[in-house]
Structure 1
């Protein structure tokens, strides 16, 4: 199989995020949500108008997702909190579980509207991270309790498969998924030595899995069979996550980081976009 390579990116938002992460299209508002985890900042970007907002959170924030009734759900250092669509914008906890030395990381909303929220230790110690499923009523169910850096999570178009990254393993794993449960964990793709570490991911309408490569300076697309068929090269090494957005879900938005770089590239920490990269899937809102 031929692997195509391209570098057709644009800078959507020039920024200096320490650890940019979590791009998520909010269709109701026509905007992109993204985070600076270590900067404790929630960003929004409207590609139609160029309007941007920044909200400083009280804690390191790993993910922000739209809610079905409006507002947002946030994966924070000490747990999962809600912002209501109307009111003063204050946070209220859905589930609070502070653990010294641990913080929130990536999260995703499953086809049934549940939130699958990941954590990791600041020192990235093996076994110090978790993946937890939360429903709209606040019910909590542990999924994985022995990961190092819980990262990209996504589902196949029919919802029968779940893809998952624990970054230090250099693997994208796949599970069978049904009724909010996963089983049959197995390897979907392996990132070879020297190519970086898998970070955030998204699944497109054809069932292909797009993976951001931390210290790899690229986005990779894998077919549903796990074959690499496209590489988007980017100029900064710490590429953290990707998601389709825009009114037709055809533009691929990519977050990047500056943390740990001695001489960051000028776009490190910016929000990038690859126009017309593919066809994304509509993402469910959190049912809470």
Structure 2
């Protein structure tokens, strides 16, 4: 299968990340972590907006009542529909910041962290409910990155990037994880697994940092599709658009001595597949 990419938003994000389709707002939300910016893009009109926040922001997701939930350097914060900001859970740890996050089928936010120096064991993955209750799910992580759930919610996929693995857990309704095993291992020459999304067929799409590609793996771990890209550092991917058939891909230019022209932009591959509706945060 041949894929053709387009430029959705020409940008120079230092570390573009976390694309999320907001069905109610008919918009794509993404962040520039190191630029402390939350971007929104309406593909139907081309309208764009940027909100500058006071801290590095690892992820931004829509809330059930409107507004956003943010995974920030010092914890999880809320942006209300009127634009006002407040903390839901604040836990400042020197040298650590929030990274990728995702909303589970039950509306809880699963928020990852990492140390700026990427030290092994310095990061975590925590489950945050709408009332602000927090439970650490994994506490021995280096770079907590992509996560997503199978269409029936019974499996959770997860990436700790330096392991070069995409792992899968059994997941029950209250957020308990068991049976960790490897779905796929990324060879050294293909870069590092970063963000991921799960499609309607239960397949896992993985962005490869320093790999210039997004790969799709079947539920059995078979590599069956590769989307080559004109940038070395794709970071994450998500399906969007009214039919959830367009694959949006964030990219980064940080650390590149000679960034390619599109590094830091938001790319889109029209008609790449069929995504799953993403639940809003229940808080």
TM range (shorter): over 0.9
| Alignment partner of 1:226 is 2:232 | no
Shift of 1:235: 1.1
Q: Which sections of structure 1, spanning at least 5 residues, go unmatched?
A: none
2:45 aligned counterpart, secondary structure: coil
| Alignment partner of 1:68 is 2:64 | yes
| Alignment partner of 1:216 is 2:211 | yes
Q: What does 1:245-284 correspond to in 2, within 5 Å?
A: 245-284=240-279
2:189 aligned counterpart, secondary structure: coil
| Alignment partner of 1:16 is 2:17 | no
1:168 aligned counterpart, secondary structure: helix
What residue number does 2:146 align with?
Answer: 152
Whole-angstrom CA distance in 1 between matches of 2:240 and 2:109? 20
Once the two structures are superposed, residues 83-136 of structure 1 have per-residue CA deviations (whole angstroms, 9 ceiling, x without a partner) of: 111x3x121000000000000100000000000000000000000000000000
Contact 2:3 2:272 (8 Å CA) reproduced:
no
Once the two structures are superposed, residues 21-66 of structure 1 have per-residue CA deviations (whole angstroms, 9 ceiling, x without a partner) of: 0000011110000000000000000000000001110000000001
Work out which of the residue numbers 83, 101, 104 in structure 1 matches 2:98: 104
What residue number does 1:33 align with?
Answer: 29
Tell me the C-alpha RMSD between the 2 structures: 0.6
Whole-angstrom CA distance in 1 between matches of 2:162 and 2:271? 31
Residue-pair matches, total? 282
Once the two structures are superposed, residues 152-200 of structure 1 have per-residue CA deviations (whole angstroms, 9 ceiling, x without a partner) of: 0000000000000000000000000002111110000000111000000
Q: Which runs of 4+ in 1 moved over 2 A?
A: none
Whole-angstrom CA distance in 1 between matches of 2:90 and 2:153? 28
TM-score by length of structure 2 reads: 0.99
Shift of 1:7: 4.3
TM-score by length of structure 1 reads: 0.97
Q: Which sections of structure 2, spanning at least 5 residues, go unmatched?
A: none
1:284 aligned counterpart, secondary structure: coil
